[in-house]
Chains A and B, each alone.
Chain A
Amino acid sequence: EAQVTQNPRYLITVTGKKLTVTCSQNMNHEYMSWYRQDPGLGLRQIYYSMNVEVTDKGDVPEGYKVSRKEKRNFPLILESPSPNQTSLYFCASSPKPTRLINEQFFGPGTRLTVL
């Protein structure tokens, strides 16, 4: 089944304790992205990647790191989480954007709470 998977789905942690949220897709997509979703603010893009070893900042990259060493994986790293990073996180992937191919497929989400 074609899908985007995220782990963990739920995480409660404490301030300053490094964590990684994994994202993997099995559709051979070039484009991958991380978003956070907060009430009243909608989805905000954190980082995106056009292909292996190519990453770019979105609107809210502060406090986050990413890497794209393999096409299928795009982990999100919080080196020192803070309470303002409590949010619902979505990973998404799509084929290389063209005029005809534009659909992003979203993972199920990871609900993170930082105490």
Chain B
Amino acid sequence: GQNIDQPTEMTATEGAIVQINCTYQTSGFNGLFWYQQHAGEAPTFLSYNVLDGLEEKGRFSSFLSRSKGYSYLLLKELQMKDSASYLCAVRGYGQNFVFGPGTRLSVLP
């Protein structure tokens, strides 16, 4: 079967650092993705990992450990506009996608 887990909700303070974890068990692995989705809007792409390690992109970084079935998204210097849902997704060998339930992040002043 396929299963992706993320925390349902997280809260952090403006200017702080927050780490959103994602664990997965899938029948095939061909990359892990993070998307951001503001309320009422479409998801937008944040990052992609296919090899173990850290990928950095400005204030956002994403880490992958394939042997542990684990990824995290790190957001630095949090801003109010970072309040959104963060979706973890795994792409299978057949180019299908499985998404996690999403983590709703609230950034407080």
Interface residues of B in 62-106 (CB under 8 A from A): 87, 89, 91, 94-102
- Give the interface size bracket for A toward B: 20 to 34
- Majority SS of interface residues in chain B? loop
- Within the complex, what minimum Cβ distance (angstroms) separates B85 from chain A? 9
Interface residues of B in 22-46 (CB under 8 A from A): 30-31, 33, 41-45
Q: Would you call A31 and B99 a contact (CB within 8 A)?
A: no
- Give the interface size bracket for B toward A: 20 to 34
Q: Would you call A58 and B42 a contact (CB within 8 A)?
A: no
> Would A41 and B101 be within 8 Å (CB), given that A56-B96, A97-B91, A102-B33 are in contact?
yes
> Would A42 and B42 be within 8 Å (CB), given that A97-B91, A102-B33, A102-B48 are in contact?
no
Interface residues of A in 30-58 (CB under 8 A from B): 31, 33, 35, 40-45, 48, 50, 56, 58
Q: Would you call A33 and B97 a contact (CB within 8 A)?
A: yes
Q: Would you call B42 and A48 a contact (CB within 8 A)?
A: no
> Would A107 and B42 be within 8 Å (CB), given that A42-B87, A43-B89, A102-B31 are in contact?
yes
Interfacial residues, chain B to chain A (CB-CB below 8 A): 2, 30-31, 33, 41-45, 48, 50, 87, 89, 91, 94-102
Interfacial residues, chain A to chain B (CB-CB below 8 A): 31, 33, 35, 40-45, 48, 50, 56, 58-59, 90, 97, 99, 102-109
